[in-house]
Amino acid sequence: MLFSLAVFLPGIGVSVRRLHDRGTSGWLLLILFTGIGALVLLVFYLLPGTPSPNQYGPPPGSPEPSLETTDPAVLTVDSARRDSPLEGR
């Protein structure tokens, strides 16, 4: 039982990451609950990922992005860190 849980949870994470590599939502993993869902997901897993960055980030193995970014989510986190009252401690 413990082994099954230890393998199942990371397996979900790997599956979602692979779907993101293809540019599809991780929610597509729920297609497993249909009759033909496992076959559809197998096809998605075997197809190559997108060669350029998609909405989920750059493809695996690409060079690290530069620190200069215009992504609003990153800018919001950075500005929130800078204004944090815990910064001086």
Does this model's pTM top 0.75? no
pLDDT given at position 54 = 84
pLDDT tens digits, one per residue of 46-71: 988 888 888 888 887 776 655 555 65
Q: What is the mean pLDDT of residues 1-27?
A: 90
Confidence of residue 29 (pLDDT cuts 50, 70, 90): very high
- The token pair that represents 36 in the structure block: 């033909």
Answer yes or no: is pLDDT of 89 > 70: no
Answer yes or no: is pLDDT of 44 > 60: yes
pLDDT above 90 as % of the chain: 27
Q: What is the mean pLDDT of residues 29-38?
A: 90
